[in-house]
Chains A and B, each alone.
Chain A
Amino acid sequence: MEKRKSLIKIKPKKYGVGEVVKVNFMVMHPMDTGMRKDKKTGKLIPAHYINEVKFLFNDKPITTMTTWESLSTNPVFTINFKVPGEGELKVIFKDNQGEVNEKSIKIKPKG
């Protein structure tokens, strides 16, 4: 299983319980459409794209996405999230070639 570089950012950095924050999830992924040719060999690059992204808070699903190859290379997903308290925000993402990766961040509201 190949580890994908990914990053979760919460905006703003300081937030309280009940506040709506922006969750910014970035991942390094080629997102090949299967229509592009390799410039060196002239062969088609097989489709390779993220097809499922799940946002979980304490293992409870918040947002589930089905995505397709029309998203850009190294895609960014931004959603809103109402902070219910302390916990762990986890993002699980899968691609069409069967890779499954996950990334998590601790949610620590202040005040």
Chain B
Amino acid sequence: MQRRSFLRGLGLVAAASAVVTPSIVMAAEAPKGQNAMSIDAAVAAITGGKSVVVSPKVHLKAPEIAENGAVVPVTVEVDSPMTDDDYIKAIHIFATKNSNVRCADVMLTPANGAAMFASRVKLGTSQDVMALVETSKGEFLSASQNVKVTIGGCG
């Protein structure tokens, strides 16, 4: 009888630890949530509910297949005269399936001469890379491209 209750106790402990472990792991990975943001929330925070137009003026260059997700070169170019009354105000780059979708918010001025931004991003899995462009007239333009990642870059 004692043996049975002992085993039962053991089983309970095992079950309890099995339940508890994932929550501990989650707690340890809490910093993940620190900057985590969904793509919809991130876009809405910038546009403030205004409509976003997919535009051929925005040229997003990224490799179709990235062997290493840790270093994916991304270039965004926008056709704009970049004069004092008509220029590109900001370029935002998003990786739509990363924990924190925001990569960079670039605020430009007419002193740039041409609207371009290039950098290298980390991509966790295969996903869309998106560029959101704000013009000085308050319009929002976007472009996106799918990037297939063979080896993830996060973790």
A residues bordering B, Cβ < 8 Å?
Answer: 20, 22, 31, 33-36, 44, 46-47, 57, 60-73, 75-82, 84
Contacts and interface: CB of A to CB of B under 8 A. Distances in A.
Given A72-B153, A79-B116, A80-B115, A66 B104 contact: yes
A44 B31 contact: yes
Contact of A68 (B71, B104, B108): B104
Interface of B: 28-29, 31-32, 34-35, 70-72, 75, 82, 95, 98-109, 111-122, 153-155
Nearest to B71: A72
Nearest to A18: B113
A22 B116 CA distance: 9
A90 B53 CA distance: 35
B120 A82 contact: no
Contacts of B119: 71-72, 75-78
B154 A33 contact: yes
Contact of A71 (B101, B112, B120): B120
Contacts of B104: 65-68, 71
Contacts of A44: 28-29, 31
Contacts of A66: 104-105
